[in-house]
Amino acid sequence: MGRFHRHQDGTDQDHHDDQHCDQGDQDDQGDMSGYQTGPERVVVLERIFGENDRLAAANRSTFDAASVTAINMMSSPGAGKTAILRQTLASLPDTTRVAVIEGDIETSLDAERLAGFGAQIALLNTASGFGGECHLDAPMVASALPRLDLATVDLLFIENVGNLVCPAEFDVGAHHRVMVYSITEGEEKPLKYPVMFRSVELVLVNKLDLLPHLDFDLPLFLRNLASVNPAATVLQVSARSTEGLDLWYEWLVEVGQRNGRAAMLR
In 172-266, where do the E strands start and end? 176-182, 202-206, 233-236
Question: Given this model, what pLDDT does residue 239 score?
Answer: 98
Q: What is the pLDDT of residue 238?
A: 98
Task: Give domain status of residue 263, yes or no.
Answer: no
Q: Tell me, what's the pLDDT at 48?
A: 75
Question: Domain range for residue 82?
Answer: 3-17+33-258
Is 28 contained in some domain?
no
Q: Which pLDDT does position 94 carry in this prediction? A: 85
**For residue 262, what pLDDT is reported?**
46
Kindly report the CATH number assigned to the domain that includes residue 118: 3.40.50.300
Do strands 120-125 and 12-15 pair parallel, antiparallel, or not at all (unpaired)? Answer: unpaired
Within a domain: 25: no
Interstrand relation of 3-6 and 12-15 (parallel, antiparallel or unpaired): antiparallel
Residue 264 within any structural domain of the chain = no
pTM of the model: 0.84
Per-block mean pLDDT, blocks of 10 residues, the chain (266 long) = 47 44 41 56 71 96 96 98 98 92 97 96 93 93 97 97 94 98 98 97 98 97 98 98 97 83 50
- List the one residue out of 250, 179, 251, 190 whose CA is nearest residue 218: 190
Residue 85 lies in a domain: yes
Question: Does residue 251 lie within any of the structural domains?
Answer: yes
For residue 216, being part of any structural domain is answered with: yes
Contacts of 11 (CB under 8 A, 6+ apart): 42
Kindly state whether residue 76 falls inside one of the protein's structural domains. yes
Parallel, antiparallel, or unpaired for β 176-182 and 120-125? unpaired
In the prediction, which pLDDT does 4 show? 52
Rounded Cα–Cα distance for residues 145 and 34 (Å): 41
CA distances 210 to 76, 178, 181, 204, Å, are 18, 22, 13, 15
- Total domains, the chain: 1
